[in-house]
Structure 1
């Protein structure tokens, strides 16, 4: 899952959300000086990634892309799934997506000093371009994929994946609709035993 899903799955816990947001920028075991709930957020992020990467439905989505995008297929599926979460947001949250996004940007800005320095520029652009809301539009996903493609070490062609999304839109939507409630339940179970 990408930013939107990770943030959504954090629930109403600020520190958990901060940890979940920064987790990809924290390598190995988090420093013991980090707030315990932020560490839990990092752990939650890793749990979500593991569950997602090993789930049979997600594997079907990735397999459809693997021949074209190789190791980047999983990253692309994460973006596609964030698109479907944004498009169907009202099915998962009573809080409108623009409001959720604004609250999230505010939380991260207020707690910017807790984020790894490499995230400061990312947060600036995320807020300025309103990534979380833009994921709900095809153009927003196209822009995100283009940006990610520019940052890859090797040629990824990720910027072309928006055409795959459009071509097989209903297939990816069906897979997301099948998978996401299972992920929500998995996260709920994890929180029940770890928080």
Structure 2
């Protein structure tokens, strides 16, 4: 799961949202420099990633993509799931997607002083280009995959990933709709109600 799903799953607590957003930028002992709730958000992000890596539905999606994208299949599935969440937002939230994303950007920007400096360019680009709402549209996904492909160290072919997304959409959507409620249940068991 990518930014949208992590923020959605942690939306009940702004500190959890910050932790989920900055988690990939926090390594080693730096974890202890954050408040306990932000640390929980970072741990939540890592729990989500680990749970996702080991879930049967997610593994099926990665296996289908692996012959085309190799090790980048996992990144692509993360992005696909943000697309499915955004496109089916009303299945999961009473808020409009734009209402949620606007509030998320505002809250994250208000917490800039406590975020790792390396996370700030991502936040700035994400909010300036409205990545989160853009995930709902194929052209938004294409822009995201083009950017990921340019930054990849090897030939990722990610710029072609929207073709597979459109072809496999229904199957991916069904898998996601089975996976997400299970993940939410596990998160509640580990982190409490959200």
Shorter-chain TM range is over 0.9
- Contact between 1:30 and 1:39, CA under 8 Å: does it hold in 2? no
Distance 1:34 1:40 in 2: 10
State the partner residue of 1:95: 95
Distance 1:57 1:11 in 2: 24
Task: Give the SS at the match of 1:156.
Answer: coil
Distance 1:123 1:63 in 2: 31
**Structure 1 position 112, deviation (Å):** 0.7
Superposed, 1:29-108 pairs within 5 Å as 29-108=29-108
**Structure 1 position 30, deviation (Å):** 3.5
TM-score (structure 1 length as normaliser): 0.95
State the partner residue of 1:119: 119
Task: Give the SS at the match of 1:94.
Answer: coil
Unpaired runs of at least 5, structure 1: none
* Count of aligned residue pairs for this structure pair: 194
State the partner residue of 1:13: 13
Distance 1:33 1:78 in 2: 28
Distance 1:63 1:115 in 2: 35
State the partner residue of 1:188: 188
**Structure 1 position 29, deviation (Å):** 4.2
Task: Give the SS at the match of 1:168.
Answer: helix
Distance 1:76 1:28 in 2: 26
State the partner residue of 1:142: 142
Distance 1:30 1:173 in 2: 37
**Structure 1 position 11, deviation (Å):** 2.8
In structure 2, relative to structure 1, the CA distance for the partners of 1:29 and 1:52 (3 Å cut) is farther
**Structure 1 position 28, deviation (Å):** 2.6
After alignment, is 179-188 or 69-78 more displaced? 179-188
State the partner residue of 2:159: 159
- Contact between 1:84 and 1:136, CA under 8 Å: does it hold in 2? yes
Cα deviation per residue 1:121-155 (whole Å; 9 max; x = unaligned)? 11111111111101000111111111111111111
State the partner residue of 2:23: 23
TM-score (structure 2 length as normaliser): 0.96
- Runs (4+) of structure 1 exceeding 2 A deviation are 28-33
Distance 1:103 1:126 in 2: 13
State the partner residue of 1:170: 170
Distance 1:17 1:30 in 2: 18
Distance 2:119 2:71 in 1: 24
